[in-house]
């Protein structure tokens, strides 16, 4: 009647990142089919003060790799946030997945109780468990859902089941 | 090094629903401040084939209460999906939270291994654990994030920290 911190992070993040990769492939196909400009899709956003599609991918990557770094102490790779094409976004996702899959369940030992301190927002310290449940998972899914929402808003023919990865 | 199925569901869902309630209060204040029509906000959507704000609240309610019903066998209340005002949406959220909080950790015994079968999409059977991780949690956060995204798209002055419930 319990799930390990590893189960709750690495496979869930890898799955979500693969969903994001599949969404980006459909977005790229949509751009090609309509003869539109890839830059317009990649820089699309839902509000002036929200991140564009590129930023949603970058933050999903960061949230997943930093969650694993914070819970395990294994340093995550740094990325430059300089992606400007679908191919580069796919590479970012692939590099993130490669890091996540390099971490083992054993490296999550005692991560539930580990103290996690973030550097913004005046947030209180978390335990590993509270950090995962009240910050990391909601934050990760926010970026996958918002990437999906941006693409729907741009007219890409995807649906909820693409987000859920039901046929992945 | 493990989290219980109860921890992963009831407190996480209650927290997310309270975030949604706070977002709706800011949306209602925005409508009042701008002298605009509440119906326009409540029926706003990001794409013609996506659910409006009302639907995002209803599906977050359903996802949370049905997840708990499926994992515990405790029957969830039925709601009519007939909300047409901010007050009614707040009541829907409150009623959902009341049900969630009525279920005890003990009622989740063995829920990790329970077989879960959904009635759509040709999905394979889940275990309780895989259902929670690959369907219920992503689905729940989808609706909270999309409610947030609709409000941002409508110009409501909220931000990511409202979604995260950082100051809740």
Q: Which residues of B touch A52 (CB under 8 A)?
A: none
Long-range contacts of B77-86 (CB under 8 A, 24+ apart): B83/B54, B83/B57, B83/B58, B84/B39, B84/B42, B84/B54, B85/B38, B85/B42, B86/B24, B86/B25, B86/B27, B86/B28, B86/B38, B86/B42
ipTM above threshold 0.90: yes
Chain-centroid distance of CA B67 in Å reads 11
Confidence of residue A78 (pLDDT cuts 50, 70, 90): very high
Half-sphere exposure in the Cβ direction for B4 (13 Å, CA): 11
Q: What is the pLDDT of residues A130-148, one digit of tens each?
A: 999 999 999 999 999 999 9
Closest CB to A152 among B47, B152, B163: B47
Chain-centroid distance of CA B49 in Å reads 19
- How large is the average pLDDT for residues A2-16? 96
Q: What is the pLDDT of residues B74-132, one digit of tens each?
A: 999 999 999 999 999 999 999 999 999 999 999 999 999 999 998 776 778 999 999 99
With beta carbons less than 8 A apart as the criterion, state whether B10 and B100 touch. yes
Check whether B168 has a pLDDT greater than 80. no
Q: What is the pLDDT of residues B25-84, one digit of tens each?
A: 999 999 999 999 999 999 999 999 999 999 999 999 999 999 999 999 999 999 999 999
State both tokens at A90: 């796919």
With beta carbons less than 8 A apart as the criterion, state whether B150 and A145 touch. no
Does B155 contact A at CB distance below 8 Å?
Answer: yes
Check whether B166 has a pLDDT greater than 90. no
Check whether A1 has a pLDDT greater than 70. no
pLDDT of residue A119: 79
The residues spanned by each domain of chain B are 5-164
Confidence of residue A65 (pLDDT cuts 50, 70, 90): very high
pTM over 0.95: yes
Does A119 contact B at CB distance below 8 Å?
Answer: no
Q: What is the pLDDT of residues A29-46, one digit of tens each?
A: 999 999 999 999 999 999
Residue with tokens 């959904």: B118
With beta carbons less than 8 A apart as the criterion, state whether B58 and B79 touch. yes
Match domain B5-164 to its CATH number in 1.10.10.60, 1.10.10.10, 1.20.120.450, 2.40.10.220.
1.20.120.450
d(CA A13, CA A60): 9
Does B110 contact A at CB distance below 8 Å?
Answer: yes
Does A109 contact B at CB distance below 8 Å?
Answer: yes
pLDDT of residue B7: 95
Check whether A168 has a pLDDT greater than 60. no
d(CA B136, CA A147): 19
Does B79 contact A at CB distance below 8 Å?
Answer: no
**Shortest Cα distance, chain B CAs vs residue A115, angstroms:** 14
* Contact across the interface for B164 and A50, Cβ inside 8 Å: no
Check whether A121 has a pLDDT greater than 80. no
């Amino acid at each position: 009647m319990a799930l390990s911190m590893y189960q709750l992070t690495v496979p869930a993040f890898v799955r979500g990142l693969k969903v994001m990769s599949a969404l980006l492939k459909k977005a790229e196909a949509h751009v090609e089919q309509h003869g539109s400009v890839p830059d317009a899709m990649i820089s699309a956003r839902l509000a002036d003060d929200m991140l564009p599609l590129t930023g949603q991918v970058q933050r999903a990557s960061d949230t997943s790799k930093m969650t694993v770094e914070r819970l395990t102490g294994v340093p995550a790779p740094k990325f430059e946030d300089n992606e400007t094409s679908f191919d580069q976004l796919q590479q970012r996702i692939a590099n993130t997945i490669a890091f996540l899959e390099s971490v083992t369940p054993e490296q999550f030992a005692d991560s539930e109780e580990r103290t996690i301190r973030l550097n913004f927002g005046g947030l209180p310290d978390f335990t590993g468990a509270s950090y995962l449940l009240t910050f990391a998972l909601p934050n990760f899914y926010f970026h996958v859902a918002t990437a999906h929402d941006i693409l729907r808003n741009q007219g890409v023919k995807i649906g909820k089941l693409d987000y859920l990865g039901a046929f992945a």
